[in-house]
Amino acid sequence: MELERKEYLQKLIDKKDNGRVKIVTGIRRCGKSYLLFELFTKYLLKQGVGEDQIIGIALDELPNAKYRDPFELDHYIRAQITDKSKRYYILIDEIQFVSEVKNPYVNDPDAKINFIDVILGLMKIKNADVYVTGSNSKMLSSDILTQFRDRGDEIRVNPLSFAEFYEVYQGDKYNAWTDYCTYGGMPVTLTLASHEQKSQYLRDLFARTYLKDVVERHSIQNDIEVLEDLLNITASAIGSLTNPTKLSNTFASEKHMNISSATIDKYLGYFSDAFLISKAERYDVKGKKYIKTPVKYYFTDVGLRNAKLGFRQQEETHIMENVLYCDLLRRGFDVDVGVVEYNYKKEDGKSARKQLEIDFVVNRGTQRYYIQSALSVSDSEKRAQEINSLIRIPDSFRKIVVVGNRINPWKDENGILYIGIEQFLLDEKTIDM
């Protein structure tokens, strides 16, 4: 079985030889290495590029540990660029493994050499095109991008979308959605046959890769249990409004542990940096402003989320919302949680104000969509409840209700589109029906 990852491969092809470093980011084991070393390499070879012109190195592999020293890495690559008449393609996997070392050529004890220096140096080689992967969003922090001097292009790789998963799914396609909601889109799960194998693989990813990465990267020694508990709490509350203070109170009441909201916020930032979770801000549609707190958190992959909870909490409503959120991000949209306020009269005649939630306010350039995720709108009362916020939005942008069951798309008297989740995910054009 070969995963084509057409969307990401095309992005690499479009940016090939553009004079900028291509930074392929995403959660570990989502397919970044496969994209570069299998798919992109195969493309280059078909275009007539010689094998000796493709210089690849995976820094997360133990035999390559010496090249985590920036001087060793730089020497290794330059030694293979031997012919000025040829174009070389440099593929460095998991660049964040490169250590920061003291600059031995200056007296300043604070002078350091790191992967930035290596990449900037390689970019100056006229017959070299540089590609790196990384599993830490701090690679793209403002200070690092400043050092690239606007010479870096990010290509964010995600776990398999439902459309990619569906295309290679080996069983009855009718069961694809259920399996995707259970095991998510980490590519290796498609090669495993049983629930036990998939469950063990996903659990091991958390314990031996993601959690270990966070602990080692931030030198955490005493709070590993807190990290585990925070992941569990966050996983249990996907799609629910929360904030560090609320989570701190949860630790106090349920775990009898005093963890400050500042520490909670810091650890959530670590998970976000590792691409494990993503934060959705709240946006006041009428007031046209962001609301600082509370926010929502979603997992990058629902299979990882489910495995963290031992597959015990399979709330299809929240899982479907998580999948929808991730797919909208993958499509290149900015996705917020919406709030619309309205005034009404209470039974006693007094005025009151109420906030209604819009699951997603979705923007890309001048495009905007308001999307509700609803497991079902089978009766008029449930449908009225789901669209209550949408009909109070004071603009004419497209409004959509994505439902959990298979239906023929239709529009109501308000112009609101109703469409099934599978069709919405499999055909990106349906957002503009």
Pick the CATH number of 6-156 from 3.50.50.60, 3.40.50.300, 3.30.70.1230, 3.40.50.2300: 3.40.50.300
The yes-or-no verdict on residue 144 having pLDDT over 90 is no
Taking only the tens place, the pLDDT of each residue in 7-59 is 999 999 999 999 999 999 999 899 999 999 999 999 999 999 999 999 999 99
Q: What average pLDDT does the chain have?
A: 93
Greatest mean pLDDT among 217-221, 290-294, 329-333: 329-333
- Residue 409 CB neighbours (<10 A): 13
Which one has a higher pLDDT value, 390 or 213? 390
CA gap 312, 319 in Å, rounded: 13
pLDDT value of position 222? 87
Share of the chain above pLDDT 90, in %: 82
The CATH 3.40.50.300 domain(s) of the chain lie at 6-156
Mean pLDDT of 381-392: 94
Indicate left, alpha or beta for 109 from its phi (over 0: left) and psi (-120 to 50: alpha): alpha
pLDDT value of position 240? 93
SS3 category, 55: strand
The yes-or-no verdict on residue 122 having pLDDT over 70 is yes
Taking only the tens place, the pLDDT of each residue in 277-301 is 999 999 999 999 999 889 999 999 9
CA gap 92, 122 in Å, rounded: 11
Q: Which residues contact 308 (CB under 8 A, 6 or more apart)?
A: 203, 206, 231, 232, 235
The yes-or-no verdict on residue 136 having pLDDT over 80 is no
Of 337, 316, 328, the C-alpha closest to 403 is: 316
SS3 category, 279: strand
Share of the chain above pLDDT 70, in %: 97
Of 228, 202, 200, the C-alpha closest to 214 is: 228
pLDDT value of position 233? 94
Q: Which residues contact 176 (CB under 8 A, 6 or more apart)?
A: 162, 165, 166, 169
pLDDT value of position 143? 56
Q: Which residues pair with 155 in a beta bridge?
A: 24
Taking only the tens place, the pLDDT of each residue in 225-271 is 999 999 999 999 998 999 999 999 999 999 899 999 999 999 999 99
Which secondary-structure segment (H or E) carries 361? strand 351-364
pLDDT value of position 345? 78
SS3 category, 314: coil
Mean pLDDT of 302-327: 94
CA gap 399, 392 in Å, rounded: 11
Distance (Å) of CA 296 to CA 286, 400, 426: 20, 20, 25
The yes-or-no verdict on residue 76 having pLDDT over 70 is yes
Taking only the tens place, the pLDDT of each residue in 317-329 is 999 999 999 999 9
Token pair 């989570």 is found at: 247
CA gap 33, 56 in Å, rounded: 10
Lookup: tokens for 29: 């084991």
DSSP-derived pairing of the beta strands 410-411 and 88-93:
unpaired
Torsion of CA 104, 109, 115, 118, to 10 degrees: -40
The yes-or-no verdict on residue 217 having pLDDT over 90 is no
The yes-or-no verdict on residue 120 having pLDDT over 60 is yes
